[in-house]
Amino acid sequence: MVDAQRITKLVADPVKKEGSCVVYWMQAAQRCKQNEALCFAIEQADNLKKPLVVYFGLERSFDSAQGRHYRFMLEGLKEVQQELQAMGIPFWVHDDGILSGLAKLMPSMCLLVTDRGYTRTERLWRKQVAAFSLCPVYEVETNVIVPVEAVSDKQEYSAATLRRKIEGMTAYFAQRIEFSAPLMNGLSLEPLFVPIDPADPSRVLDSLSLGNKGESCPHLKGGGQEGQRKLSLFIESRLGSYADGRNDPSHTFSSGLSPYLHFGQISAIDIYHAVKDVHVPDVPVFLEELVVRRELAYNYVWFNPLYDAYEGLPAWAKKSLGYHEQDRRPVLYTFAELEQAQTHDVYWNTAQRELTELGTMHNYLRMYWGKKILEWSPTPKEAFHRALALNNTYQMDGRDPNGYAGVAWCFGAHDRPWAERPIFGNIRYMNDKGLERKFDMSGYIARIEKEIALKNQLS
């Protein structure tokens, strides 16, 4: 049974009894395990004595997403298809736009369930579907531990203000769910369009209009099984050193789960339960990142309509940056020079190569990376848009609440005013000397060069 606080009724029309099936429009939660929306859809199908169909819509292009992102997603969808078929549930993937596929299915639906999306585009899709729906539409919150509106009714100022609210709610909402196959097998249903087969990602990718910036990422395999494997590896070999080692870029103590969380291939609730009872002192530090920091980002995107714009930054940050906008920059780089890692700063260049070639960036270096873009751009506003464009285009978890909040943090969001200095104003400052004092930066460069070489061997 799915907690009622996760469920929002978007359309209150009566059930269309003449419909032939219940449809779960899977989009944000691309998994079967610990999927509250799938569980709720099965419950509704069984109550109505109807078969269940799971639908997934592919956009031919999506914001800044590249071929590397789509391939990762399709690898996960192949797994989803296999798992659903084993439960007697057809999985229909439409490759000519999300809304057009749903419009074709609408006459056969008696009820529609979807998972909650948080970004502007995801919310618009659900609003548009609700506008032309002929049956009830339910949205189920699947990709956070605590529903965003159960935690707060406003944008939170910082992690400290969210932490006070969410800590007492986490255990209650981190409920494991178990469900069985629907009572009615739907595999004999005839689709109202010709579905594509996610088991052949290369063929699907060739049919789409995708950008191909960035190296392919054969070292990153998509899918829930790989996400669970990475989670087990993290617990066994990295969690015990996470608190002290997570900020050191010369080592890899992060979980590596961000892309799997972004595509909904693994549930934050599954991660929470796998980690919370491990007997190492680092667990609270990791759970702070998984629960407080991650869900602060979802709060930011949900309650701030300008989450992806410079204008959405805190007033104090914009005022301070505006006051120093005319300060002389010691060096300026074009967007192309930044994109191609052609700066004088070897640490920044290495971080940018990690991004473009490996699809990831060490979290501590991502902060330094964003601060330097501010320092090396003609205006703070242009710097913000440059950082966001690079993050969304190359990060395997780009276009994600964590990415939007992370870029905004570099410009003052979820932070406080610091000592005033040229260019940065009261924004927190970082420099290469600080990196060298704290970390083995030559070790970081060697690690990234080695990982790029290993990745190239797989290509």
The two tokens of residue 218 are 């054969």
Domain match, 133 and 228 both:
no
Q: Name which residue leads in pLDDT, 18 or 61.
A: 18
Whether residues 75 and 109 share a domain: the answer is yes
CATH number at residue 227: 1.25.40.80
Beta-bridge partners for 114:
25, 139
Longest dimension (CA), the chain: 70
Band of residue 299 on the pLDDT scale cut at 50, 70, 90: very high
Select from 303, 326, 348 the last residue of a domain: 303
Tally the C-alpha atoms within 13 A of residue 349's C-alpha that lie toward its C-beta. Answer: 13
- Residue 11: both structure tokens together: 């359309």
Query: Is 107 contained in some domain?
Result: yes
Distance CA 297, CA 300 (A): 5
Task: Please check whether residues 148 and 132 belong to one and the same domain.
Answer: no
Percentage of the chain modeled with pLDDT above 90 = 92
Same domain, 148 and 119: no
Residue 264 within a domain:
yes
Question: What average pLDDT score do residues 250-268 get?
Answer: 96
Domain that holds residue 392: 307-458
- Cβ(343)–Cβ(376) below 8 Å: yes
Tell whether 148 and 138 lie within a shared domain: no
Structural domain contains residue 196: no
- What amino acid occupies position 197? D
Q: Which residues contact 288 (CB under 8 A, 6 or more apart)?
A: 163
Residues 52 and 79 in one domain: yes
pLDDT tens-place string over residues 30-72 = 999 999 999 999 999 999 999 999 999 999 878 888 999 999 9
pLDDT for the residue numbered 407: 98
Q: Copy the structure tokens of residue 431.
A: 């420099």
Tens of pLDDT, residues 64-121: 889 999 999 999 999 999 999 999 999 999 998 999 999 999 999 999 999 999 999 9
Which of the four pLDDT bands, split at 50, 70 and 90, describes residue 346?
Answer: very high
User: What confidence score (pLDDT) does residue 210 get?
Assistant: 82
Domain assignment present for 19: yes
Note the Cα 304 to chain centre separation in Å.
Answer: 17
* Number of domains within the chain: 3
- Residue pLDDT, tens place only, 263-298: 999 999 999 999 999 999 999 999 999 999 999 999
Classify residue 188: in a domain, yes or no. Answer: no
In sequence order, the β-bridge partners of residue 122 are none
Mean pLDDT of the residues in the chain: 96
Q: Which of 303, 336, 370 finishes a domain? A: 303
Q: Give the model's pLDDT for residue 213.
A: 86
Compute the average pLDDT of residues 317-342.
98
Using CA atoms, how far apart are residues 427 and 303, in angstroms rounded to an integer? Answer: 23
Same domain for 393 and 432, yes or no, is: yes
Residue 221: count of CB within 10 angstroms of its CB? 16
pLDDT 10s digits, 395-437 = 999 999 999 999 999 999 999 999 999 999 999 999 999 999 9
Look at residue 38 in the predicted model and tell me its pLDDT: 98
d(CA 233, CA 227) in angstroms, rounded, equals 10
Residues 128 and 158 in one domain: no
Residue 205 lies in a domain: no
Residue 184: the pLDDT is 97
- Residue 322: pLDDT over 90: yes
Which conformational region is residue 399 in: left (phi greater than 0), alpha (psi within -120 to 50 degrees), or beta?
left
Same domain, 125 and 161: no
Question: Does residue 255 sit in the same domain as residue 337?
Answer: no
Query: pLDDT, tens digit, for every residue of 192-227?
Result: 899 999 988 888 888 887 878 887 899 999 999 999
**Which of 303, 332, 361 is the C-terminal boundary of a domain?**
303
- In a domain, residue 215? The reply is no
pLDDT at 256 over 90: yes
Q: What is the pLDDT of residue 321?
A: 98
CATH of the domain at 126: 3.40.50.620
Task: Report if residue 312 sits inside a domain.
Answer: yes
* Residue 101 shares a structural domain with residue 157: no
pLDDT value at position 254? 94
**Residue range 16-28: average pLDDT?**
96
Please state the three-class secondary structure of the chain as a single string.
CCCHHHEEEEECCCCCCCCCEEEEECCCCCCCCCCHHHHHHHHHHHHHCCCEEEEEECCCCCCCCEHHHHHHHHHHHHHHHHHHHHCCCCEEEECCCHHHHHHHHHHHEEEEEEECCCCHHHHHHHHHHHHHCCCCEEEECCCCCCCHHHHCCCCCCCHHHHHHHHCCCHHHHCCCCCCCCCCCCCCCCCCCCCCECCCCHHHHHHCCCCECCCCCCCCCCCCHHHHHHHHHHHHHHCHHHHHHHCCCCCCCCCCCCHHHHHCCCCCHHHHHHHHHCCCCCCHHHHHHHHHHHHHHHHHHHHHCCCCCCHHHCCHHHHHHHHHCCCCCCCCCCCHHHHHCCCCCCHHHHHHHHHHHHHCCCCHHHHHHHHHHHHHHCCCHHHHHHHHHHHHHHHCCCCCCHHHHHHHHHHCCCCCCCCCCECCCECCCCCCHHHHHHHCCHHHHHHHHHHHHHHHHHHC
Residues 153 and 288 in one domain: yes
